Amino acid sequence: MDNAVLEALRERRSIRRYRPEQIKDEELRAVLEAGTFAPTGKGLQDPWIVAVQEPELLKKISAMNAAIWGHDTDPFYGAPTYVLVFGSDPSVWPNSLYDGALVLGNMMLAAHAVGLGSCWINREREMFSTPEGKEMMREMGLPEGLIGIGALALGYPASFPPTVKPRKENYYRIIK
């Protein structure tokens, strides 16, 4: 069986090299809107999505993430746009992390569909639990009590992974 969605699922790859030019506004809006159509528990639409393109804020976010990672390289691989996803503390809404993960997944597929590259970036929970991170969230206009779930590096790919990693044996089972 084949169609555009299944093809996109097979073709999408994590991109770790980006061209420096900023993405188009309509491309960004398409990616962000795709995130809003991710399924969420009880239809609560708990996640919050923030796209960042301001150069100084990009540097600050990259430095915070790199420090937690323990590296001095850019964990966002030079992408010109970061998309951050936040959600309720899991003690308040147990589906928070799952809902946010689905939002990120939808946005990665949408990015691929419009010709952009993306890569899921971790450590947002640690970043935004710090005093500096909480202040940054306030400056972004987010409500109190949220946690960082994940982020995307987003931009025009400078290169693509050359091969597809083979899928493992017995990845799925069908029981009838």
Q: Are 31 and 110 in contact (CB under 8 A)?
A: yes
Assigned token pair, 130: 């710090």
pTM comes to 0.96
Q: Which residue from 93, 91, 107 is spatially nearest to 150, judged by alpha carbons?
A: 107
Other CB atoms within 10 Å distance of the CB of residue 91: 9
In the predicted model, what is the mean pLDDT of residues 145-154?
98
SS (H, E, C) 63-92: HHHHHHHCCCCCCCCCCCEEEEEEEECCCC
Q: Read off the pLDDT band of 72 (50, 70, 90).
A: very high
**Biggest alpha carbon–alpha carbon distance for the chain:** 55
Q: With bands split at pLDDT 50, 70 and 90, how would you rate the model's confidence at 52?
A: very high
Residue with token string 């150069």: 55
Q: CB within 8 A of 32, min separation 6: which ones?
A: 49, 51, 83, 107
Report which secondary-structure segment, H or E, holds 170. none
**Is 162 a residue whose pLDDT tops 80?**
no
pLDDT attached to residue 54: 98
What is the distance between the alpha carbons of residues 158 and 133, in angstroms, rounded to a whole number? 30
Write out pLDDT tens, residues 15-49: 999 999 999 999 999 999 999 999 999 999 999 99
Listed by start position, the domains of the chain span 7-155
Residues 121 and 76: their CA atoms lie apart, in Å, by 7
At 71 the pLDDT is 94
Question: Which tokens is 110 given?
Answer: 């949408």
Region 7-155: CATH code = 3.40.109.10
The pLDDT tens digits for 103-143 are 999 999 999 999 999 999 999 999 999 999 999 999 999 99
Backbone angles phi, psi at 127, to 5 degrees: -60, -50
Structure tokens, 60: 């600050």
